[in-house]
């Protein structure tokens, strides 16, 4: 951005300051900018950025310099790794700070942190300002709305979506919006096909003094209860496991027997991911219920480099968390997770470290990436069959449909075409970033990435 002396914009000077300007790195932070801009516009604010133009209010022929000098009530500086040291962003920040000093505008610049940039790495021009934390965008938005309201920034009627709708229509072709056409949508619900299942409670007794115990790893699901267990297994199946007084364990043995690694989540929940080499090439072929064929990787890596030029591989592992449910139908819900390791086999245990790596690795994983990995893993568990069979100690196995339940929406939505660089299966970056807080190995971000994804004709890959 070129900063020049203010010109004779009398028509602009006659207008009160009431716009919220979003200063951001273009194109790196465009998606975040669009999200915050539309949310603010829906709350009645007039919003402007050089990437989206104006949402709400009358149009005009200005540029970002004119908005900062004459129209902006607040300059929201979207602080990220990109904007932290990008020359154009810093020039906009410098201009805004100069205007604030000259016109005595309190809190004219509001930094809004939208990435994983550490406090220690924040540019000195921004570090002295009170910033809003927005690693979770909805949380940052709520804090920003409170700040704008406290500072009495002018706004129109909240929840009036006309301005956003008009902006969208002017920006995107009508073919890239909501259509009055039905669309089939996948869920993460997989039907349990058994006509009838019996839940047993087996009371346990001992012939001698001592604690009641069961084998540590049961071959079927069970839950310990006072003096006994709840299970779908018959009394004969339970009796066969009472040879040694072992403690009962929650059972996910079907997934562990298939070679998946177990990871404990919060609240005593568990998920399971593939180690490197469990499946050939670490990717799985699958076919949707509609016949669409494709392949998805379930393990990949990212090369990381430290300040000394030493490199290592950070492996990611797609994982599933099975959750049985009885309403609205008898189903198995599959929740997706991504785990990380340094060797492809030993999962990290630190929640903070996993969270940071997940944000970095999965920032460009769209819905189809998660959906197809779920379909691929369920296809692998079915061993090419139409169903997945799990021994539960009953007269027959638990039978789960390998295809998810789908629902028909009366309308459909066509997303704008993603850029080619965003759709690439592999990424070969050359920049090496400084390490930020919380990385146990002391390494910075990636200089090479390998997802090893490919897709057959007809699949919609990301």
Cβ burial of 18 (10 Å; 0-12, 13-18, 19+) is middle
Which structural domain, as residue segments, surrounds residue 385?
A: 253-450
CATH of the domain at 64: 3.40.50.10140
- Rounded to an integer, what distance in angstroms lies between the CA atom of residue 448 and that of residue 419? 19
Residue where a domain terminates, one of 150, 171, 192:
171
pLDDT, greater one: 180 or 72? 72
Q: Where are the alpha helices (DSSP H) in 116-267?
A: 124-127, 137-150, 162-171, 235-239, 253-257
Between 95-99, 124-128, 312-316, the lowest mean confidence (pLDDT) is in 124-128
pLDDT at res. 172: 64
0.75 cut: is pTM over it? no
The pLDDT assigned to 433 comes to 31
Q: Does residue 242 lie in a domain region?
A: no
Asked if residue 304 belongs to a domain, the reply is: yes
DSSP label at residue 305: E
| pLDDT(59) > 60 | no
Specify whether 167 is located in the same domain as 277: no
On whether residue 177 sits in a domain, the answer given is no
Domain closes at, from 171, 205, 230: 171
Residues in contact with 103: Cβ distance below 8 Å, sequence separation at least 6, in sequence order: none
Q: Is residue 178 one of the residues assigned to a domain?
A: no
Residue 344 lies in a domain: yes
Q: Does residue 264 share a domain with residue 133?
A: no
Q: Please count the structural domains in the chain.
A: 2
Residue 5 lies in a domain: no
Residues 306 and 440 in one domain: yes
In a domain, 245, yes or no: no
Residue range 244-303, pLDDT digits in tens: 443 333 345 678 889 999 999 887 788 999 999 999 999 999 988 778 889 999 999 999
- Look at residues 123, 146, 171 and tell me which one is the last residue of a structural domain: 171
157 and 258 in a single domain? The answer is no
Question: Comparing C-alpha atoms, which of 96, 73, 72 is closest to residue 83?
Answer: 96
- Give the pairing of strands 446-450 and 426-427: antiparallel
Q: Taking 50 as the threshold, does the pLDDT of residue 368 lie above it?
A: yes
């Amino acid at each position: 951005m070129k900063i020049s002396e203010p010109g004779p914009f009398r028509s602009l000077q006659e207008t009160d300051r009431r716009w919220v300007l979003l200063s951001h790195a273009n194109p790196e932070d465009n998606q975040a900018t669009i999200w915050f801009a539309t949310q603010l516009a829906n709350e009645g604010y007039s919003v402007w950025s050089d990437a989206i133009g104006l949402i709400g209010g009358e149009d005009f022929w200005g540029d970002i310099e004119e908005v900062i000098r004459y129209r902006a009530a607040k300059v929201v500086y979207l602080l990220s790794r990109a904007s932290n040291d990008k020359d154009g962003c810093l020039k906009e920040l410098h201009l805004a700070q100069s205007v604030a000093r000259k016109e005595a505008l309190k809190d004219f610049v509001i930094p809004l942190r939208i990435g994983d940039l550490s406090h220690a790495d924040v540019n000195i021009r921004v570090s002295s300002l009170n910033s809003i934390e927005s690693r979770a965008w909805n949380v940052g938005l709520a804090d920003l709305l409170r700040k704008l309201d406290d500072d009495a920034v002018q706004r129109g009627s909240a929840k009036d979506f006309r301005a956003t709708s008009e902006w969208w229509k002017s920006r995107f072709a009508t073919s890239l919006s909501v259509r009055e056409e039905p669309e089939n949508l996948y869920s993460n619900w997989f039907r349990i096909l058994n006509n009838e299942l019996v839940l047993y409670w087996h009371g346990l007794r001992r012939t001698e003094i001592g604690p009641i115990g069961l084998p540590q790893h049961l071959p079927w699901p069970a839950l310990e209860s006072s003096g006994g267990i709840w299970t779908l297994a018959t009394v004969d199946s339970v009796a066969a496991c009472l040879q040694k007084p072992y403690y009962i364990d929650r059972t996910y043995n079907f997934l562990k027997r298939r070679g998946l690694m177990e990871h404990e989540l919060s609240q005593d929940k568990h998920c399971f991911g593939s180690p490197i080499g469990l499946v050939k090439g670490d990717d799985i072929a699958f076919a949707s219920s509609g016949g669409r064929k494709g392949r998805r990787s379930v393990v990949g890596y990212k090369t990381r480099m430290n300040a000394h030029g030493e490199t290592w591989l950070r492996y990611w592992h797609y994982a599933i968390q099975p959750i049985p449910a009885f309403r609205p139908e008898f189903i198995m819900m599959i929740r997706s997770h991504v785990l990380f390791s340094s060797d492809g086999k030993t999962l990290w245990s630190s929640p903070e470290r996993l969270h940071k790596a997940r944000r970095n690795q999965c920032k460009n994983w769209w819905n189809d990436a998660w959906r197809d990995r779920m379909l691929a893993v369920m296809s692998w568990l079915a061993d090419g069959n139409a169903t997945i069979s799990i021994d539960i100690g009953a007269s027959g196995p638990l039978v789960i449909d390998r295809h998810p339940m789908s629902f028909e929406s009366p309308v459909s939505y066509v997303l704008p075409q993603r850029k080619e660089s965003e759709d690439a299966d592999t990424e070969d970056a050359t920049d090496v970033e400084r390490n930020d807080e919380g990385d146990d190995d002391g390494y910075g971000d990636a200089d090479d990435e390998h997802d090893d994804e490919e897709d057959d004709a007809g699949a919609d890959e990301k």
